[in-house]
């Protein structure tokens, strides 16, 4: 059952659209989310910074390490230099052409 689901192009299209939404919205969410104060909650602060770093690394990997695409939605320096939606948009277009050819 899992093998059949993964082999269908609708699965990959849905996955790419979900990743596109993540890459588009995460920088704004990250900029507006404050970590706990280091003095009051050291463990919470460290965990928050670690999770934010992990998610930024995911954004950079999805962007294939390319520099920013110039369409930043916030004033985040990380977004301006590390978020690029072009690779995931190209993947969506390729999958849509594949689906069109398959029909």
pLDDT tens, per residue, the chain with 103 residues: 566 666 677 888 899 999 999 988 888 888 888 889 888 888 999 999 999 999 988 988 888 877 877 776 767 777 777 788 889 999 999 988 888 887 6
Domain locations along the chain = 40-103
HEC string of 40-80 equals CCHHHHHHHHHHHHHHHHHHHHHCCCCCCCCCCCCCCHHHH
pLDDT at 3: 63
pLDDT at 66: 78
**What is the value of pTM for the model shown?**
0.79
């Amino acid at each position: 059952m899992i093998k059949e689901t993964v082999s269908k192009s609708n699965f990959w299209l849905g996955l790419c659209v979900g990743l596109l939404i993540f890459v588009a919205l995460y920088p704004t969410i990250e900029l507006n989310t404050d970590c706990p104060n280091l003095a009051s909650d050291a463990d919470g602060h460290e965990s928050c910074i670690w999770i934010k770093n992990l998610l930024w690394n995911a954004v950079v990997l999805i962007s294939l390490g390319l520099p920013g695409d110039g369409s930043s939605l916030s004033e985040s320096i990380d977004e301006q230099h590390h978020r690029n939606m072009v690779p995931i948009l190209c993947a969506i277009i390729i999958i849509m052409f594949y689906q069109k050819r398959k029909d």
